[in-house]
Amino acid sequence: MAMRKTMHRSMMQVNVRRSDLAAGMYQKAFGAEFVARHPYDDGTFMHAELDVCGQILSLSELPAGQAADPGNTMMFCLHFGKGREALVQQAYDALKDGAEIGAPLGPNDYSTFHFCLIDRFGVNWCIFV
């Protein structure tokens, strides 16, 4: 009998400049709390984990000299479900400052309340009910 393939967990991982500021913004956007943090002396993170509604968002400081590619080919999509419009609004209010808005807050073909943006740290988000 073949051994069943399993994994302990999966995480969303972002590598950004000023990971300390990004963590604060994501805490505000999602009411997230740290579940792990390993800071550098300057307060940025070698590794940190935030609990975002039961899912882990992991952050690390982008290494010096490594180019940032804002909004690259990966997008974090968070589907909260009907009745959770307040969570989507909270996230939008926190993430929109300095962001490149791809789709403003409102209805679209698949959701009555959604938005897409690339936040000021270069992370691409699609959040909806």
Predicted confidence (pLDDT) at residue 102 exceeds the cutoff of 80: yes
Measured from the Cβ of residue 4, the count of other Cβ atoms closer than 10 Å reads 5
Predicted confidence (pLDDT) at residue 105 exceeds the cutoff of 90: yes
Structure tokens at 12: 């969303």
Q: Is the pTM of this model over 0.85?
A: no
| 18 secondary structure, DSSP code | S
Predicted confidence (pLDDT) at residue 43 exceeds the cutoff of 60: yes
Q: Among 3.30.70.1230, 3.40.50.11740, 3.30.720.120, 2.40.40.20, what is the CATH number of 11-64?
A: 3.30.720.120
Element (H, E) at 10: none
Please check whether the domain covering 71-129 is classified as CATH 3.30.720.110.
Answer: yes
Q: Which CA distances in Å does 84 have to 27, 52, 76, 89?
A: 17, 14, 18, 9
- What are the residue boundaries of the structural domains of the chain, listed by start? 11-64, 71-129
Domains 11-64 and 71-129 share a fold: yes
Predicted confidence (pLDDT) at residue 21 exceeds the cutoff of 90: yes
Q: Determine how β-strand 100-106 pairs with β-strand 45-52.
A: unpaired
Q: Kindly state the average pLDDT of the residues 93-118.
A: 95
Tens-digit pLDDT profile for residues 68-94: 776 665 788 899 999 999 999 999 999
